[in-house]
Amino acid sequence: MANGCAKRGGCPSDYVAVAIAVICFFVLLSRSVLPCLIHKAPRTNSSSFWIPVIQVFSSFNLLFSIVMSVNLLQFKSRHWWQYCYLWAVWIEGPLGFGLLMSCRITQAFQLYFIFVKKRLPPIKSYIFLPLVLLPWIIGAAILHGIKPLNSECHMGLEWTLPVAGLHGLYVLALIAFTRAIRHVEFRFDELRDLWKGILVSATSVVIWVTAFVLNEILQEISWLQVASRFVLLVTGGVLVVIFFSISSNQPLLSQISLKKREQHYEFQRMGLALGIPDSGLLFRKEEFRLVDPNEPLDKLLLNKRFRHSLMEFADSCYAGETLHFYEEVYEHGKIPEGDSTRRIYMARHIMEKFIVAGAEMEVNLSHKTRQEILTTQDLTHPDLFKNALNEVMQLIKMNLVRDYWSSIFFIKFREEERCDEAMHKEEWSFSSPRLSSVQGSDDPFYQEHMSKSSTSRCNSPG
């Protein structure tokens, strides 16, 4: 019985391994999908979205191909879809482990050019990824042509060791890219995550290759066949879960926690995640000043209350991308020029959100200006978005501001200004009974008292 299931599959340990692999894949699927569904993270056309999707696809291929190629499940008869070279060569190799490692190498390649070379990678990720995968495709084609596999999908020692060496070669390639960026002071622990990925993948590959070699060359030992394929599948399941859980390409989304929903609110803007002063705050402590519509637009937009009122109007007209772009570029300008790492984070965020074709909030720019930004040789340049901002300001002047002055949003803004002006005049005459030496704007009880005394006046009709 043991010898029979060791050869044909269907041992109790085989079903346990399959169950563990299924659980691992669903854990992987939940970790990749749930944060986006719960927090409604926007889908982008950039590699930060597609590479994780490809990782999920390759993880499924890796686990399912192991199940099919090492006889974990017992089938009464042989079918065409159990073809060894389909599962053991193509799906397990180029479309499984090879694709999974190629995704991580592509991420490390992007980080190297963005943070070390301070420019976008010269090769697009959808071109670089197939190039990295090419050795696996060539190797699979050679194996398919020579056909060294027997009827039980096993290959001899002369082929097992080169295949194991190809697995190790990709781990070494990932180590090489990671060493090249080890001196960068990342804000979101990308380097630490890459080293973790290397440690996890290297350990898994050693265990996995050992089980793979034993499974291939010691076919006459029944218990070793059963144990090795159990370890092969379970290690593969653990590898894909841990490997995917380590994020190194999407720093803003990596701040999302399934346990702390308030953390998503705290880091829903890149400026907040980077610690830019007053980023995303509707009100800030500044000298109260009435807005004069006759002032130049660039001066008016420095008033944060006015800027957000205009942004609400623009969003209602489905033209808010221009104001959001101005806001992000304004925050980008607050970062000191010497802080190259944060400037690169913010510049890359703006480019992916507003500049690249098909972006979430793509702004209307001339082809020349767009290409100047996308082909820049210095992501830290202080005038990186200068021409784009000038074009956007012209669009705001021509299309939004003139309509805004006659909108209900401006009327509401004026009413709020009058209330604030009245509260500002009373601020210095107000004396807190609890903290008499503290000014009104710093008194924690001030807002409560003033809201009670002035709500009726500010909100009363007429």
Which residue, of 261, 276, 307, is where some domain finishes?
Answer: 261
Rounded Cα–Cα distance for residues 407 and 401 (Å): 10
Q: Is the pLDDT of residue 356 over 80?
A: yes
Per-residue confidence (pLDDT) for residue 61, from 0 to 100: 92
Residues 34, 136, single domain; the answer is yes
Number of C-beta neighbours around residue 137 at 10 A? 15
Q: Is the pLDDT of residue 129 over 90?
A: yes
Over range 253-265, report the average pLDDT: 36
Number of C-beta neighbours around residue 214 at 10 A? 19
To the question of pTM greater than 0.75 for the whole model, the response is no
Q: Is the pLDDT of residue 126 over 80?
A: yes
Residues 383, 245, single domain; the answer is no
Which residue, of 240, 261, 282, is where some domain finishes?
Answer: 261
Rounded Cα–Cα distance for residues 296 and 282 (Å): 22
Per-residue confidence (pLDDT) for residue 279, from 0 to 100: 57
Over range 161-187, report the average pLDDT: 83
Over range 281-309, report the average pLDDT: 71
Per-residue confidence (pLDDT) for residue 40, from 0 to 100: 60
Q: Which helix (H) or strand (E) covers residue 425, if one does?
A: helix 408-427
Residues 73, 179, single domain; the answer is yes
Per-residue confidence (pLDDT) for residue 74, from 0 to 100: 67
Residues 107, 248, single domain; the answer is yes
CB-based contact 325:346 (threshold 8 Å): no
Q: Is the pLDDT of residue 437 over 90?
A: no
278 within domain boundaries: no
Over range 74-89, report the average pLDDT: 69
Which residues, 6 or more positions from 131, have their beta carbon under 8 angstroms from its beta carbon?
123
Instruction: Say how far residue 282 (Cα) sits from the centre of its chain.
Output: 26
Q: Is the pLDDT of residue 448 over 50?
A: no
Per-residue confidence (pLDDT) for residue 163, from 0 to 100: 84
Residues 225, 312, single domain; the answer is no
Of 327 and 1, which is predicted with more confidence? 327
Q: Is the pLDDT of residue 128 over 90?
A: yes
Tell me: the pLDDT tens digits for 209-228? 777 677 666 767 778 778 88
Q: Is the pLDDT of residue 44 over 70?
A: no
Per-residue confidence (pLDDT) for residue 214, from 0 to 100: 72
Over range 333-357, report the average pLDDT: 88
Residues 254, 331, single domain; the answer is no
Over range 269-293, report the average pLDDT: 62
- pLDDT over 70, % of the chain: 74
CB-based contact 74:50 (threshold 8 Å): no
| Tokens at 156, concatenated | 């001899």
Residues 343, 223, single domain; the answer is no
Q: Is the pLDDT of residue 255 over 70?
A: no
Residues 239, 304, single domain; the answer is no
Residues 42, 172, single domain; the answer is yes
354 within domain boundaries: yes
Tell me: the pLDDT tens digits for 28-41? 888 777 766 665 65
Residues 302, 257, single domain; the answer is no
CATH number reported for the structural domain that contains residue 182 in this entry: 1.20.1070.10
Residues 161, 20, single domain; the answer is yes
Of 446 and 114, which is predicted with more confidence? 114
Q: Is the pLDDT of residue 229 over 90?
A: no
3-state secondary structure of 382: coil
CATH number reported for the structural domain that contains residue 375 in this entry: 1.10.167.10
Over range 70-96, report the average pLDDT: 75
Residues 127, 63, single domain; the answer is yes
Per-residue confidence (pLDDT) for residue 271, from 0 to 100: 75
Residue 391 Cα distances to 137, 365, 380, 401, angstroms: 46, 7, 21, 15
Domain ranges, residue 32: 9-261
Over range 76-82, report the average pLDDT: 56
The residue assigned the tokens 């979430």 is: 360
Average pLDDT, whole number, for the chain? Answer: 76
Per-residue confidence (pLDDT) for residue 267, from 0 to 100: 43
Residue 240 Cα distances to 101, 206, 347, angstroms: 10, 15, 31
374 within domain boundaries: yes
| Tokens at 103, concatenated | 């995704």
Tell me: the pLDDT tens digits for 386-405? 999 999 988 888 878 888 88
Over range 450-460, report the average pLDDT: 42
Of 429 and 334, which is predicted with more confidence? 334
Over range 54-59, report the average pLDDT: 90
281 within domain boundaries: no
Per-residue confidence (pLDDT) for residue 134, from 0 to 100: 95
- How many structural domains are present in the chain? 2
Per-residue confidence (pLDDT) for residue 37, from 0 to 100: 67
Of 130 and 82, which is predicted with more confidence? 130
267 within domain boundaries: no
| Tokens at 210, concatenated | 């050992």
Per-residue confidence (pLDDT) for residue 389, from 0 to 100: 92
| Tokens at 55, concatenated | 């990782």
434 within domain boundaries: no
3-state secondary structure of 147: coil
83 within domain boundaries: yes
Over range 102-110, report the average pLDDT: 88
Best-predicted range by mean pLDDT (57-71, 205-219, 265-279, 424-438): 57-71
447 within domain boundaries: no
